[in-house]
Amino acid sequence: MELLRFFTAGNVDDGKSTLIGRLLLDSGSISTDIIETVTRQSKATGEHATIDLALLTDGLRAEREQGITIDVAYKYFSTDRRKFIIADTPGHAQYTRNMFTGASTADMAIILVDARNGITEQTRRHTIISAVLGIPHILVCINKMDLVNYSEARYEAIKRDFSAVTAALSLNQVSFIPTSALSGENVVHPSTHMHWYTGQSLLSFLEQIPVQPIQSHDKARFQVQYVIRPQTTELHDYRGYAGTLWSGKLQVGDNVQVLPGGFSTRIQTIEHNLKTIESADAGQPVVIQLEDDIDISRGAWIAPVSELPVMSDFVQGTICWMDNKPFQTGGMKLLLQQGSFSTKAFIKEITYKIDIETFEKRPSDDELKLNELASVLIRTAEPVVFDNYKENRTTGAFILINEYTNQTVAAGVLEINLQH
Phi, psi for residue 33 in degrees, rounded to 5: -65, -35
Architecture of the domain whose range is 310-415 = Beta Barrel (2.40)
Is 363 a residue whose pLDDT tops 80? yes
pLDDT tens digit string along 16-60? 778 888 888 888 776 565 556 655 655 555 555 466 666 655 543
> What's the confidence (pLDDT) of residue 43?
56
> What's the confidence (pLDDT) of residue 208?
93
> What's the confidence (pLDDT) of residue 32?
62
The highest-confidence range among 139-143, 214-218, 328-332, 353-357, by mean pLDDT, is 139-143
Pick the CATH number of 221-304 from 1.20.272.10, 3.40.50.10880, 1.10.10.10, 2.40.30.10: 2.40.30.10
Is 233 a residue whose pLDDT tops 80? no
What ranges make up the beta strands (E) of 230-359? Answer: 240-247, 249-251, 255-259, 263-272, 275-277, 279-281, 285-290, 301-304, 310-321, 327-328, 334-338, 341-354
Homologous superfamily assigned to 3-208: P-loop containing nucleotide triphosphate hydrolases (3.40.50.300)
Residue 256 confidence class, pLDDT cut points 50, 70, 90? very high
> What's the confidence (pLDDT) of residue 2?
86
CATH 3.40.50.300 positions along the chain are: 3-208
What ranges make up the beta strands (E) of 135-260? Answer: 137-143, 173-178, 221-223, 226-228, 240-247, 249-251, 255-259
pLDDT tens digit string along 59-92? 433 444 444 334 556 788 888 999 998 877 665 5
CATH 2.40.30.10 positions along the chain are: 221-304, 310-415
Q: Cα angle at 129 between 123 and 135, to 5 degrees?
A: 105
Tell me the average pLDDT of the chain.
Answer: 84
Is 96 a residue whose pLDDT tops 50? yes
pLDDT tens digit string along 314-338? 999 999 888 888 988 766 899 999 9
Amino acid present at 61: R
pLDDT tens digit string along 102-128? 677 788 989 999 999 999 888 888 888
- Beta strands 361-362 and 341-354 are antiparallel
Provide the CA 190 distance to its chain's centre, in angstroms: 29
Question: Assign residue 359 a region: left if phi > 0, alpha if psi is -120 to 50, beta otherwise?
Answer: left
